[in-house]
Structure 1
Amino acid sequence: MNYTDVDDKIIVRARQQHLLRVFKQERLEATSDVTGTRLAALEAYLTKNLPRISQSTSPENVESEITKHYSAVLSGHPLDPGTLPGDREAKVKMHIKTARGASTAIGGLEQGRDLSEDNLADLEDVIMPWLDQKFGSSVAEKAIFLELTKNFEERFEQDMVNLNCLAPDIITRVSDYAAQIVKFVQVIQQNGFAYSLGGSVYFDIEAFEAAGNTYARLEPWSRQDAKLIAEGEGSLTEAASEKRSTADFALWKASKPGEPSWDSPWGKGRPGWHIECSAMAVDKLGDRIDIHSGGIDLSFPHHDNEIAQSEAYFCHGKKSHQQWVQYFFHTGHLSISGAKMSKSLKNFTTIRQALNSGDWTPRGLRIVFLMHSWSDGIEINEGSKDKGSSWEEKLNNFFINGKAVLEDPDHVGIKDSKHDLDGELERKKQETYEALCDSFDTPTVMDNISRLITAYNTVDPSTVSQATTKSIAFWVTEMVNMFGLNGIATPETATTIGWSGIDVPEGSKPILISLSNRRDSLRRKAKADAVVKDDLTPIPIPVSSHTLSEAQTRTRASFAEVLKNVNQDIDALDATKSAKDLSKDVLRLCDRIRNVDLWDNDVYLEDREGNKPALIRLVTRELRATKEQEQARERKKQEDKEKREKDAAAKVEKGRLSHKEMFRSLEFSAWDDDGLPTKDKEGEEISKSRKKKLQKDWERQKKLHEVWTEAQKK
């Protein structure tokens, strides 16, 4: 694996962060912007990234100018009529967010207000490019550039460990290969496929093709794409008008002030982006590579240039050389909200952030990736996450139930000709082999595993032999181990079934088994209303036969405390009650042990039908989510019940006032025997229409009062 620790983007970012550190030490958050840096940086940022806004716009007026010039983009419309919104509009929205935050920060600093971290981060993003433009050429120490990449290398390596990725056999770094890269470029030039110009060396595409070679083999349709060509050369590279062709790319770049440099026959310089990969790959892998990988965005110009310069290196005497790379794996992009995750768009989530958020686990991420073809893009959303979680929980349950079958000495499994699970297993093995041979079709393999488990789950367990269960469970385990979904898989665990996260801690098993067995016994008797005093003996705390680590000892102690409390609760049961009443108390205790005592310690007892013992399993995220949903439904049910009761009580309460008294107020002056008004307060007769309305109100209250009267009798 190659670490690119020298390229244009790295150089710019390292300079910016170094200059920002210096500036922060001096005056970034000073109340007074004595040097005018913040305002100047904002002006430069607006000019470059939001050109419709005048660069002289004051921070307090930035928001109104954004509304005036970019409201359409913020509403989802394109910058130019007749086009579709895309990355360009996404970048404008990002720049708007940054400009807003920076403007707020500038105003807040001048007024002495406290600022949010987001606002300060936006201000930094505005200031860094300006500092680099002004002072970038003064940065000279190589250590500044290498320090940045070293930090990211360490993060990347830790992310790979967290995702259960195997470490590379060999790691190469550009900064360690400068001398070899110089020699590599010299050979290409000697072979007639490169020329020097102003201290730089360029690849001669025309000469390469004239020798019978093909350029842009991966994306021939992109070879005239000026934007991609410019991106491939880097933001610090100034186009040389003397180049033989605008498409010729740099093998070696003359270093300018503020850029790292190494000695070369052409003067102080640094490697081009593409050449570094060729030089290091050839050094370690030679003149033929079977598989080369990378993101699809690297196809052109990076990989096409890499192919050309590598084959030019081996093309002695201008004779066409054999194909250097046999297969390219160009992986698709991750997307979020329909847009490609990108640093430049600031719409990305790092592996570390995803895992620390609690929303994802290493296994969960790998499952989602495996459910999509390596060459396709993946939309990261709740749908893909839920689909992956369902697949994972399905296997959790299969492994737990399968192990229970294999550990059950009474399970026989009478062969039933109605199912052919052994044959289905062989078919899925063959289909999986064919899928993996077909461009590593992992989605089909994941589906095969799921379908096999579905077939197993739909068959009567009593008709499945332990041998069949074992064969299926072993194959599924083999597949998840191969796909890196079992974080504890080693060659030594090849004979085990399942994956990490389904077994309770080894040192705590004796306690949990003892507690679960007694609960099973009490629960069976309680369901039959047959609990008696002699059943209420304390549960002994078994002694562990394992040497426990400190963490295992703490875990065991917590379960020992649970068992101790359960024993106290058993002792507190009123054994003088009838068997029926005592059994009700025991059932409540059994439910609490399952739903509270053990659940709060991340263990769940899954009760099964008949006399089968409860399964002892760890609480998974899916189990926890299911319980939370059930609790939410119960809360809603209880809230609805309370509302109905409250509404009913309010309706009854309305009837407290007698219908014969309801109209006896100053609004009227005379009433009949039923309390209905006959004259208003002036002594005038009640009109016929009003009398009709009063009659309806009276009848309604009469019914309510009758209900209230009956309620008082209860």
Structure 2
Amino acid sequence: MRLLGICNIITCTPLSRAVSFPLLKLNARSVASDSRKQPPWIPPQARPDAQLPRLKIYNSLTRSKDDFVPVDPMGEVVTWYACGPTVYEDAHLGHAKNYVSTDIIRRIMKDYFGFRVKFVMNTTDIDDKIILQGRQQYLLARFKQEHASEDDSVSDSVLAEAKAAFRHYISKNLPSLPSSTSPETYSEAAEKVYKEKAKPPPLADAAAAKEGEAVTIANLLLSAHIGTARSAAEALQAPGKLPEFFAKTEDILLPYLDALHGAEIESNNHKIYLELSEKFERRFFEDMEALNVLAPDQLTRVTEYVPPIVRFVEKIVANGFGYATPDGSVYFDIDSFEKAGHSYSRLQPWSKNDPALQADGEGSLSKGKSMKRSESHFALWKASKAGEPAWPSPWGHGRPGWHIECSAMASEVIGKTIDIHSGGVDLRFPHHDNELAQSEAYWSTPGCQVQWTNYFIHMGHLSIRGLKMSKSLKNYTTIRTVLSKGDWSARSLRICFLLMPWQDGIEVTDDLMKAVVSWEGKLNNFFLKSLDLWQRSSPDTTTIQELGIADQQLLSALDKAKAQVNTALCDSFNTSAVMRILSDLVTESNSVDKLSDQTVFLLARWVTRIVTIFGLDPEGDLSNLDRIGWSGLGIPTPAKPYIYPASQLRDKVRTLAFSGSVDHTAIAKFADGITIAASTPVVESSKPYDQVLQQFRTDVKALAAQQAPTKDLLALCDQLRDVHLWNLGIYLEDRNNSQPALVRPLDKSLVEARAERESASTAKARAKLERETREAEREKELRERAKIDPLLMFRTSDEYLEWDESGIPTVDAAGNVVTKSKRKKLVKEWEKQKKMHDEWLVTQQAA
């Protein structure tokens, strides 16, 4: 492979299930408006006889879909470095989007295309956020310990410190409030000052939209600060006990204590930071396991690679691309890097001169004046300030910059060139662009420029109301919270991400949630029916059924779906297309009757394999070629000995009830003959199911003894299905053609379908009640009107001056004689009223 002046031949050997792959050509496509100033991305080249999948990957480096060829001479191993989390808080749904999408692509590379993927991921266990949070939590814990009391009362000293923290917090975060604002006057002052500041500007054009987004973000931050101060103000006015008091004032105490005592923490006291990062690293991987995300093959932590990081920085400086400052920091020299013929900011060139992103890349503790030669230069090594952790280096005690950690660790573990580098889309600049520059500065020599990563893939964000999830904005929900509430499962979240292109952002809307529920419900039904057929089929697997026209058509559709799935996955892992293909195939199979068992099983096994490759089944086993479905399709094990007999009894009752002449003796006899294959006495976990069975059997026998009519027997069967078993999370799905009911667990699609039916029924009942109420009111109005004597009905009106002997107007209020057409209408009204009045008189006489 030719990499900017150096030739390096990569040889490849065939991969299993692969197809011929031609030599790649140089991608000369322009990747930015200033692409002439940048060296082009040089794609790897395969040996002429190489066998590789025709896989294209959307590459952020070129912003185009490029043919994928691994660096491995054998064409089998793929090296992959993924930017992992900064572990200082629990992971949220935005993290789930990133790491689940990454896991999906990794599984496709490994289990569909057959590559051996070496997947390396880091956790950032020391950076500005961890330093600040670890230090603050340490100081708060010390403060709590120093002010603990036996009765948990809030002392005067704690109250005084908290009031000082309150003043410190509002002066820093709510500067528009008067300096005299106290906890007692806070609510009134905040309402007065900030009431009008939450209105975004009108969105007239793109610039206004961008301004509106900025205002929205600012308003979210402002709302968070207002809420924090309000909670603290309430606690300061009514302190209560210490645990509750600290819970409400913690967010104001943390920055206050840090401002007072943060600089006192010794630089070699790494424990307070590692305790925090170790805790949240452990919780992060618990979350990933809950989401069925594969663990990395190798995990790297920044604090375990400090010496290699120091050596990495030393070489960059020696190569002339870095410089140390008198304060002990080391910076990357972008100017020297570009003068040497390299290109900086290749992933996101339009952000190269964005000061806000540059500052964000330097970290929250790096604000203020620095000694670097240019504002665009970034830190490789940071001189530690007072209260920050430090490690020894040739430039003095300090700590790694944010970007250098990944360059050094990936280079240490993988080497000079990485096949794939991944992360969230927000890492393109400055993090990944800086990684690229550092690594190429490290590996390149005069006349030999090295391309460090061949394919960058960046996962789109997950948004709420158009805004990226952010801990600072407090507009996020943790993975743990989402899974514990039950609104989303690990499978439904993964389906959500599979339905959308991995590189695109996702806005979680009601329509998207409905699409997820619909897709999962369709597959649940398909697998359940396939498994039911499998369980009821002949044990003689050698029996081959004759294939009919329907079988041949569906098998043809299956072959077509396989080809379409291959095309979609080769097209930069287009899972959204695959999800449509699977859904359409299942729909087609549902529309066909009288399929052979073999056709159903063949179809179900292939669909099972694809969803298992996608990671939709934590118990999936690709080595089991006979597996059908995914986990969670069966009812709980403690329920099976009781629910299946209950379902059998119900099937029998329904069959006999529908037979025309109900045989009550046969029903009672069948109820007596029900056997339970369970232990005696009943174990605790099985008691609810046993109670349902026994009660149903008792009720069936009672109705049989009473010679109850069909409707009562069927109502009892419906009650078992719709109430007793439903409340236990089990559903009996009645089917046609005398098939027994399908015993299945409740899923979200069933619950939502029932909720929609009940909502429609409620709406219908409400509409009926409103209609009956209107009719009753009309009837009442007519009855009251009927009491009026037609001789008097027009005489009470101010519209007329004179009437005839029957009470019909002859002259209107203006003195004009009533016209013939008007009189005709008045006569009709009079006659109608007379008829109503006469009928009313009759009812009164009868009464």
Please confirm whether the aligned pair reaches a TM-score higher than 0.5, indicating the same fold: yes
1:88 and 2:214 matched: yes
Counterpart among 610, 615, 623 of residue 484 in structure 1: 615
Aligned to 2:380: 251
Shift of residue 125 of structure 1? 3.0
> When the two structures are aligned, how many residues end up with a matched partner?
687
Where does residue 21 of structure 1 map in the other structure? 141
Query: Is residue 541–residue 563 contact of structure 1 (8 Å, CA) maintained in 2?
Result: no
Distance 1:108 1:616, change over 3 A: closer
Q: Distance in 2 between matches of 1:701 and 1:114?
A: 74
Give 1:241 deviation, angstroms: 5.1
Match of residue 7 from structure 1:
127
Are the aligned partners of 2:323 and 2:330 in contact in 1 as well (CA < 8 Å)? yes
Cα contact 2:174–2:226 (8 A) shared by 1: no
Amino acid at match of 2:316: I
Amino acid at match of 2:587: T
Determine if contact 1:574/1:582 at 8 Å carries over to the other structure: no
Q: Does the 8 A contact of 1:102 with 1:119 survive in 2?
A: no
Rounded to whole Å, the distance in 2 between the matches of 1:336 and 1:429 is 36
Q: Residue 386 of structure 1 aligns with which residue? A: 514
The answer to whether structure 1 residue 233 and structure 2 residue 374 are counterparts is no
Q: Does 1:449 align with 2:582?
A: yes
Instruction: Give the 5 Å matches for 1:345-424.
Output: 345-409=473-537, 415-416=548-549, 420-424=553-557
Amino acid at match of 1:266: W
Cα separation, 1, equivalents of 2:640 and 2:842? 64
After TM superposition, the structure 1 = structure 2 runs for residues 17-166 of structure 1, keeping only pairs within 5 Å, are 17-24=137-144, 30=154, 37-38=161-162, 40-59=164-183, 62=186, 66=190, 70-77=194-201, 83-84=208-209, 85-112=211-238, 123-140=249-266, 141-166=269-294
1:512, distance to aligned residue in structure 2 (A)? 3.5
Residue 562 of structure 2 corresponds to residue 429 of structure 1 = yes
Pairing 1:278–2:407 present: yes
* Separation in structure 2 between the aligned mates of residue 334 and residue 494 of structure 1, nearest angstrom: 35
Shifted more, 44-53 versus 405-414: the winner is: 405-414
**1:292 corresponds to which letter in structure 2?**
H
Shift of 1:295: 0.8
Contact in 2 for aligned 1:101/1:123 (Cα 8 Å): no
Q: Is the 8 A contact 1:49 1:92 kept in 2?
A: no
Q: What are the Cα deviations for residues 238-261 of structure 1, in whole angstroms up to 9, with x where unaligned?
A: 566542332221111111111011
Q: Does 1:600 align with 2:727?
A: yes
In structure 2, the residue matched to 1:503 is 634
Aligned match of 2:463 in 335, 344, 367? 335
Find out whether 1:525 has 2:656 as its counterpart: yes
User: 2:646 corresponds to which letter in structure 1?
Assistant: L
Deviation track 1:531-553 (CA, whole Å, cap 9, x = no partner) reads 223312125454549x99x9x95
| In structure 2, C-alpha distance between the alignment counterparts of 1:582 and 1:447, rounded to whole Å | 48
**d(CA) in 2 for partners of 1:328 and 1:634?**
53
**CA distance in 2 between partners of 1:483 and 1:704 (Å):** 77
Relative to 1, partners in 2 of residues 1:510 and 1:496: Cα closer, same or farther, differing over 3 Å?
farther
- Give the conservation status (yes or no) of the 8 Å contact 2:383–2:398: yes
Equivalent position SS for 1:171: strand
Instruction: Give the aligned partner of residue 116 of structure 2.
Output: none
Question: Greater shift after overlay, 252-261 or 400-409?
Answer: 400-409
Alignment counterpart, residue 749 of structure 2, candidates 619, 622, 630: 622
> Matched residues in 2 for 1:113 and 1:46: separation?
19
Q: Given residue 429 of structure 1, which amino acid in structure 2 is its aligned partner? A: K
Segments of 5+ residues of structure 2 without an aligned counterpart are 1-120, 539-543, 797-801, 810-828
Evaluate the alpha carbon distance shift between residue 207 and residue 675 of structure 1 in structure 2; reply closer, same or farther with a 3 A threshold: closer
Per-residue Cα deviation, 1:103-136 (whole angstroms, up to 9, x for no partner): 4345434542769999976743344333322322
The whole-number CA distance in structure 2 between the counterparts of 1:159 and 1:112 is 38
Cα shift at 1:658: 12
- Mapped to 2, the partners of 1:364 and 1:706 lie a distance apart of 70
1:67-114 C-alpha deviation (Å, 9 max, x unpaired): 555444423337999844445323432343244334434543454276
Which letter maps to 1:465? Answer: S
Match of 2:691 among 534, 537, 561: 561
Q: Tell me, yes or no, if the aligned pair for 1:191 and 1:312 is still in contact at 8 Å.
A: yes
- Structure 2 residue identity aligned to 1:416: I
- Identity among equivalent positions (%) equals 41
- Bigger Cα displacement from structure 2, 110-119 vs 449-458: 110-119
Q: Is the 8 A contact 1:503 1:618 kept in 2?
A: yes
Distance 2:202 2:166 in 1: 25
Aligned 8 A contact 1:98 1:122 in 2: no
Distance in 1, Cα, partners of 2:244 & 2:836: 62
* Aligned CA distance change for structure 1 residues 94 and 135 (closer, same or farther; 3 Å): farther
Q: 1:354 to 1:106 in 2, by over 3 A?
A: closer
Post-superposition shift, 1:177?
1.5
Secondary structure of the structure 1 residue equivalent to 2:457: strand
1:656–1:431 CA distance, 2 compared to 1 (3 A): closer
> Aligned partners of 2:621, 2:430: CA distance in 1, in Å?
40
Residue 184 (str. 1) matches residue 312 (str. 2): yes
CA distance in 1, matches of 2:202, 2:587: 47
Deviates more, 1:38-47 or 1:566-575: 38-47
Partner Cα distance (1:623, 1:413) in 2: 35
What is the correspondence of 1:577-616 to structure 2 with a 5 Å cutoff? 577=707, 581-616=708-743
The answer on whether the counterparts of 1:421 and 1:456 sit within 8 Å (CA) in structure 2 is yes
Corresponding residue SS for 2:399: strand
Contact 2:187 2:230 in 1 (8 A): no
Counterpart position of 2:422: 293
Asked if 1:170 is matched to 2:298, the reply is: yes
SS at match of 1:252: strand
Amino acid at match of 1:74: A
Asked if structure 2 preserves the Cα contact closer than 8 Å seen for 1:31 and 1:110, the reply is no
Q: 1:279 corresponds to which letter in structure 2?
A: A
Q: Label 1:675 to 1:239 Cα distance change in 2 as closer, same or farther (>3 A).
A: closer
Structure 1: where are the runs of 5+ without partners? 664-671, 681-685
Aligned residue for 1:570?
Answer: 700
Partner secondary structure for residue 422 of structure 2: strand
Asked whether the equivalents of residues 532 and 575 of structure 1 are also in contact (C-alpha less than 8 Å), the reply is: no
More divergent stretch after superposition (633-642 vs 617-626): 633-642
Report the Cα distance in structure 1 between the residues aligned to 2:244 and 2:221, rounded to whole angstroms. 14
Q: Given that residues 159 and 236 in structure 2 are in contact (C-alpha distance below 8 angstroms), is that contact kept between their aligned partners in structure 1?
A: no
2:572 maps to what in 1? 439
Query: In the alignment, what sits opposite 2:67?
Result: none
Question: In the TM superposition, what whole-angstrom CA distance separates every residue of 1:296-330 from its partner, at most 9, and x where no partner exists?
Answer: 111111111111112222224x3433211111111
Offset at 1:470?
A: 1.4
How far, CA to CA, are the matches of 1:482 and 1:383 in structure 2?
26
Check conservation: 1:90, 1:345, Cα contact below 8 A: no
**In structure 2, do the counterparts of structure 1 residues 541 and 553 end up closer, same or farther at CA, with 3 Å as the change threshold?**
farther
Q: Cα 1:704–1:45, aligned 2, differ >3 Å: closer, same or farther?
A: farther
- Deviation for aligned residue 1:354: 1.0
Q: Assess if the C-alpha contact under 8 Å between 1:522 and 1:531 holds in 2.
A: no
Sort the Cα spacing of 1:368 and 1:179 in 2 relative to 1 into closer, same or farther, 3 A: same
Please give the alpha-carbon distance, in whole angstroms, between the structure 2 residues aligned to 1:635 and 1:121: 43
How far 1:159 sits from its partner (Å)? 0.8
Q: Distance in 2 between matches of 1:226 and 1:658?
A: 80
Q: Give 1:673-688 correspondences, 5 Å limit.
A: none
Work out whether residues 183 and 236 of structure 2, in 8 Å CA contact, stay in contact via their aligned partners in 1. no
Name whichever structure is richer in helix by fraction: 1
Q: TM-score, normalised by structure 1?
A: 0.85
- The answer to whether the 8 Å contact 1:507/1:556 transfers is yes
Given the superposition, is the C-alpha separation of residues 539 and 645 from structure 1 closer, same or farther in structure 2, using an over 3 Å criterion? farther
Distance 1:413-1:356 versus aligned 2 partners, 3 A rule: farther
How much does 1:234 deviate? 1.0
Aligned-pair CA distance for 1:502 = 1.6
After superposition, the CA RMSD in angstroms is 4.0
Structure 1 residue 419, shift from structure 2 partner: 7.1
